[in-house]
C-alpha cells in the first residue's frame, strides 16, 4: 500500500531489514532528541556516567551496538 510513518532512526534501521523487505528509509534525520539520566545530587555517578557516555560516543561502540541489535544479520 501507499503509506509512510515516522520512527526513530534505530527503529527504522531495524524495520527496513525485516521481512517482507518492502520498507525503505527516505531522507535524512530531521530531528535529534536528547535523553537524560537522573542521579542523586552530589553523586559520583554523574561524572562516571558522563565519562562513559563520552567514551562510547568517541569510539565506534554505539554504532556497533546499533548495527548489531537494529540491523544484525538482517533478513533483507
Domain boundaries, the chain: 9-71
pLDDT of residue 13: 86
pLDDT of residue 76: 86
Model pLDDT for residues 3-37, shown as the tens digit of each residue: 898 888 888 888 999 999 999 999 888 888 888 88
C-alpha–C-alpha distance, residues 37 and 1, integer Å: 40
Q: How far is CA 64 from CA 2, 28, 46, 70, in A?
A: 33, 20, 25, 10
H-only helix segments in 1-76:
9-15, 45-58, 61-66
Model pLDDT for residues 30-59, shown as the tens digit of each residue: 888 888 889 999 999 999 999 998 998 899
Which DSSP category does 69 fall into? I
Amino acid at each position: 500500500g501507499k503509506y509512510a510513518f515516522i520512527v526513530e532512526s534505530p527503529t527504522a534501521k531495524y524495520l527496513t531489514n525485516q521481512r517482507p523487505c518492502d520498507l525503505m528509509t527516505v531522507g535524512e534525520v530531521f530531528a535529534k532528541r536528547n535523553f537524560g539520566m537522573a542521579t542523586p545530587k552530589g553523586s559520583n555517578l554523574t561524572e562516571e556516567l558522563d565519562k562513559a557516555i563520552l567514551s562510547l560516543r568517541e569510539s565506534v561502540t554505539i554504532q556497533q551496538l546499533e548495527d548489531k541489535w537494529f540491523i544484525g544479520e538482517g533478513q533483507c
